[in-house]
Structure 1
Amino acid sequence: MNEEQFIEYCLSYPGVYKDYPFDETWTVMRHKGNKKSFALIFQRHGHLCVNLKCDPLKADFLRTLYTDVQPGYHMNKEHWNTVNLEGEIPLEEIQDMVEHSYHLTQPKIRKKKSQD
């Protein structure tokens, strides 16, 4: 999956837009509702990488399972992973990681107060 395909995949989720808050070298995928990032796409050491938010226990498991998953580059190492998109990780696993990050960062659904 190249960068353009990865961005298109992220944009397939509802309420998502791409942003360039740093410069054109980092593409950030955000939720429209709360502007939180769920995927930060960049080049590192000549490889296409993405930072994805992850539950800490799952993050540790994925780092153990795949050498192409490392603690988040320039992010909170407990809650973010950096994933080498050009590595040996199956596409389905990468898609699951994106979905997990998307759900962890999506806007909370507010319950309306009932009026008596």
Structure 2
Amino acid sequence: MDYQQARDYLLQKPETIEDYPFGPDVAVYKILGKMFATLGTEKDTDGKPQGRMNLKCDPTEALMLREIFSAVIPGYHMNKKHWNTVILDGSVPQGELKRMIDLSYTLVVKGLPKARRQGLMAKYGEQLE
């Protein structure tokens, strides 16, 4: 999954907005005002732009993913217990990246106030799970 594929998938999540509160270099993806992902680029060792994405994660799973994939590191500029940075270098399978994005989104939805969460469930149902 490259930068554009990641962006497209993030924007498919219900009620997601793309915002740039930190400037034009890092996109922030939010559900009802709560961030569930960031997406930006950095130069790789060859000087080419490479996507980097921050995703929320269960703390135990965050550690496990860091052990399995060298492209998953503690969340850059984030709470490293709850966030991972994923380097979009092609080493993490696309299905796994989608699963990580889905998990991040779901964790943030679960943390929304009950009334807002119920409103989303009424409107989107299984798409949120």
* Pairwise TM-score range, normalised by the shorter structure: 0.7 to 0.9
Instruction: Write the mapping of 1:21-36 to structure 2, written as runs, cut at 5 A.
Output: 21-31=21-31, 33=32, 35-36=33-34
Letter in 1 for 2:103: H
Question: Deviation of residue 83 (structure 1)?
Answer: 0.2
Q: Does the aligned pair in 1 maintain the 2:19–2:27 contact within 8 Å? A: yes
Q: Name the structure 2 match of 1:79.
A: 82
d(CA) in 1 for partners of 2:10, 2:27: 11
Q: Does the aligned pair in 1 maintain the 2:27–2:40 contact within 8 Å? A: yes
Q: Name the structure 1 match of 2:121.
A: none
Q: Does the aligned pair in 1 maintain the 2:2–2:90 contact within 8 Å? A: no
d(CA) in 1 for partners of 2:4, 2:95: 17
String of CA shifts for 1:23-76, please: whole Å, max 9, x gaps: 110011111x2x111110112343211000000000000000100000000000
- RMSD in angstroms over aligned alpha carbons? 1.4
d(CA) in 1 for partners of 2:9, 2:19: 15
Greater share of helix: 2
Question: Deviation of residue 5 (structure 1)?
Answer: 2.1
d(CA) in 1 for partners of 2:65, 2:43: 21
Q: Given the alignment of the two structures, is residue 104 of structure 1 paired with residue 107 of structure 2, yes or no?
A: yes
d(CA) in 2 for partners of 1:21, 1:94: 24
Structure 1: where are the runs of 5+ without partners?
112-116
Q: Name the structure 1 match of 2:96.
A: 93
d(CA) in 2 for partners of 1:11, 1:108: 22
Q: What's the TM-score, normalizing by structure 1?
A: 0.87
Moved beyond 6 Å, runs of 4+: none
Match of 2:42 among 33, 36, 44: 44
- Identity, % of aligned positions: 39
Q: Does the aligned pair in 1 maintain the 2:54–2:85 contact within 8 Å? A: yes
